């Protein structure tokens, strides 16, 4: 477990993660990659109504947020999920959430005494 | 939407809860911060954090709304505890306290939102977003990852 201030000081890096996750298409791409098998753009485009270009664009957003990594294999790039930013972002939110719990407990003591 | 939401039932009248939230001295008592000036809608309010270990830090909120016994809203940089980080470069989150009279006192709902907002200088690197229940989505992903 990281020290709270360490988690918080990295906050700036979470916004792109939350922003990248705030899109149904990107979430579905992550869901596909969550099976653990690196996929090509062609594979990821299959079973969607999206164009290859659209999928590529979404993958770049995920890549910028470090949620996916790509690796070149022969003529194609394969994309894999990187779960670390998801975990870090969730740890950050649960820290903020806990701090609110503590503050509201103190508020309760204060107004009910 | 990325959002933290808390609900707490308080055995105190809305008027009492409102005072505890918006009187800057009373707010300071339970929030552990010494505010320099009252909360005024549309203005910034500053103080010093009294929380053990964080006393070297300045606390600052920008008051957005003061609607008596109903809504107190401000923006801030949540737990900006690292003096080496320039939080002013980040987009603040929005905190809202909503009060509702209940049978036994007051139902208080606190929300904090805007964690997905990028600092202005980075905003253009990301596509326009269609935000919908990311926390639920995160749980879905978690299930996927775990399975």
What are the tens digits of pLDDT across the range B33-45? 999 999 999 999 9
Q: Which chain A residue lies closest to B107 (C-alpha atoms)? A: A108
pLDDT at B119: 56
Nearest to A20 by CA among A105, A82, A72: A82
* CA atoms of B89 and B47, how far apart (whole Å): 20
Among B11, B130, B138, beta carbon nearest to A23: B130
ipTM of this predicted structure: 0.75
Task: Tell me if A8 and B80 make a contact (CB, 8 A cut-off).
Answer: yes
Mean pLDDT, chain B, rounded, equals 78
Average of pLDDT values for A90-96?
A: 82
* CA atoms of B26 and A100, how far apart (whole Å): 17
CB atoms within 10 A of CB A45: 18
How many Cα neighbours within 13 Å face the side chain of B49?
18
pLDDT digits (tens, 9 = 90+) for B63-107: 999 999 999 999 988 766 566 666 666 778 899 999 999 999 999
Task: Tell me if B125 and A8 make a contact (CB, 8 A cut-off).
Answer: no
pLDDT at B79: 61
pLDDT at A92: 81
* CA atoms of A36 and A39, how far apart (whole Å): 9
Nearest to B106 by CA among B16, B5, B28, B6: B16
User: Which residues 77-106 of A have a C-beta within 8 angstroms of B?
Assistant: 81, 83, 86, 90, 93, 95-97, 99-101, 103-104, 106
């Amino acid at each position: 477990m990281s020290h709270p201030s360490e988690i918080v000081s990295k906050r700036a890096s979470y916004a792109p993660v939350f922003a990248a996750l705030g899109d149904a298409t990107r979430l579905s791409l992550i869901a596909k990659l969550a099976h653990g098998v690196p996929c090509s753009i062609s594979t990821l485009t299959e079973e969607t109504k999206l164009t290859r270009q659209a999928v590529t664009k979404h993958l770049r957003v995920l890549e910028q947020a470090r949620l996916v990594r790509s690796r070149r294999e022969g003529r194609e790039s394969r994309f894999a999920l990187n779960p670390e930013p998801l975990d870090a972002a969730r740890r950050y939110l649960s820290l903020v959430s806990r701090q609110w719990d503590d503050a509201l407990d103190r508020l309760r003591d204060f107004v009910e005494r | 939407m990325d959002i933290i939401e808390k609900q707490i039932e308080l055995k105190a009248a809305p008027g009492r809860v409102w005072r505890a939230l918006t009187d800057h001295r009373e707010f300071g008592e339970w929030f552990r911060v010494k505010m320099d000036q009252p909360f005024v809608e549309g203005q910034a309010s500053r103080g010093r954090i009294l929380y053990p270990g964080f006393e070297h830090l300045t606390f600052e909120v920008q008051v957005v709304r003061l609607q008596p016994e109903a809504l107190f809203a401000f923006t801030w940089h949540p737990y900006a505890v690292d003096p080496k980080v320039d939080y002013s470069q980040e987009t603040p989150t929005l905190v809202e306290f909503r009060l509702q009279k209940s049978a036994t006192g007051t139902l208080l709902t606190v929300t904090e939102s805007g964690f997905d907002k990028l600092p202005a200088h980075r905003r253009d690197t990301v596509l326009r977003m269609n935000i919908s229940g990311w926390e639920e989505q995160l749980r879905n992903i978690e299930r996927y990852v775990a399975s």
